[in-house]
Structure 1
């Protein structure tokens, strides 16, 4: 039987709810206790689904005009992928995910994330996702999984003649540097003097739209100057830059990656926590070397 995929409408809320609740009580119930299933199910009543339709891109799969599966895209996060239990294993979920991934690429998403149930982990693994961390909500265990999408915004090594002016402008806009030792031009010169190949830019044609610098001392790695142009934020580009830097450090044998965040910047803390980083019980200390500082 043929399956058609389309955007969900308000009139689909009841059918979407029925598919999700059936899957929860049939498929997911084998991996989670009854109280977890009940708590999750309460988020997918017809009324709750109507609210979700206003906040996410929701798709439905239909056979004979009946809703048999659903999936949603929330910026760069896949959510609520459920298939009628009687029709699972027939490729309907995969068909929905092909559409979801295409929509994500068209929106400029470079790293697609999904908070997967234990039940769905094999499904997402077959689609190319990999687990980056576990999250617990009480006794409910969720696996955060990611997949790097082919990007229209390539990430490559910084080239001074092509990129200097744009990188300096982006950093000034993103970080608002106001001290002589943090001037973008000086930071670029110092990094180029090390010549370690760990300075990366993301581009849209000839425009620099993101940056990341990494460092490696033979044991630990560091990430610095992660910046994304405002017009390209919330599309997964920052996560893609971080993953690119991580892979470069891993290839060098790095055992642990560190980074620093200004106190009180909770949004950035959340960004890195979503990528598997954690706040550690450390005190960051620094000392300026006066003879090497530029004159004000």
Structure 2
């Protein structure tokens, strides 16, 4: 397995992976976030690739971001056929290295309704409740 920074040629395979790995709503949000992060700092998007039958496949994607000197794991996706093989852990470790190179103050998990399910997995990697930033729900203002 090779974990590396995202390349432009990864866009279509990464999009297909996200579609296979995430719910439709989560995938839409993630694709929008991917586009934003690639504009801001593409180095914080990493992919995991495996070679199978002389073909290199992208099997995992992680999107990180930095805000106010804090590093955030925004989204992590591993293709369902390749889960429980250490790919997610390798993606997290690669992003962690990138955050450390940028000397961020804290590394956090950006949690929303789509990532709540993976928080126990992050705990196994040493990230506790103090590392979780939950999204705030946007309220609609009604004027009368």
* TM-score (norm. length: structure 1): 0.41
- Which residue of 1 is the match for residue 122 of structure 2? 272
Which residue of 1 is the match for residue 70 of structure 2? 220
Q: Per the alignment, do residues 287 and 181 of structure 1 end up closer, same or farther by CA in structure 2, a change over 3 Å counting?
A: farther
CA contact (8 A) 1:155 1:201 kept: yes
Determine the structure 2 residue equivalent to 1:189.
35
Identify the match of residue 199 of structure 1 among 45, 51, 55: 45
Q: State the match for 2:95 in structure 1.
A: 245
Structure label with greater radius of gyration = 1
**How far 1:240 sits from its partner (Å)?**
1.1
> Quick one: distance in 2 between partners of 1:266 and 1:176?
14
8 Å contact from structure 1 (residues 177, 183) kept in 2: no
**Residues 279 and 247 of structure 1: CA distance in aligned 2, closer, same or farther (over 3 Å):** same
Question: Which runs of 5 or more residues in structure 1 are unaligned?
Answer: 1-152, 289-296
Question: For 1:224 and 1:178, how far apart are their aligned partners in 2?
Answer: 15
Tell me, yes or no, if structure 1 residue 235 matches structure 2 residue 81.
Answer: no
Consecutive unaligned residues of structure 2, counting only runs of 5 or more, are 140-144
Q: Give the superposition deviation at 1:260.
A: 2.9
1:158 counterpart residue number: 6
Equivalent of 2:24 in 177, 184, 187: 177
Query: Structure 2 vs 1, CA of residues 238 and 195 (structure 1 numbering), >3 Å: closer, same or farther?
Result: same
Q: Please list the CA deviations of residues 218-275 of structure 1 after superposition, one character each: whole Å capped at 9, or x if unmatched.
A: 5111012211112221111111110110110011011111113345966512110011
Task: Report what 2:108 is aligned to.
Answer: 258
TM-score when normalising by structure 2: 0.78
- Deviations along 1:168-216, one digit per CA (max 9) or x if unpaired, are 11112222233796262x4333222113411110111321100111111
Bigger drift between 248-257 and 227-236 goes to 227-236
Given the superposition, is the C-alpha separation of residues 189 and 227 from structure 1 closer, same or farther in structure 2, using an over 3 Å criterion?
same
| Distance verdict in 2 for CA 1:276–1:181, change over 3 Å | same
Aligned length: 134
Equivalent pair of 1:219/1:255 in contact (CA under 8 Å): yes
Could you tell me how far apart the structure 1 residues matched to 2:27 and 2:82 are?
28
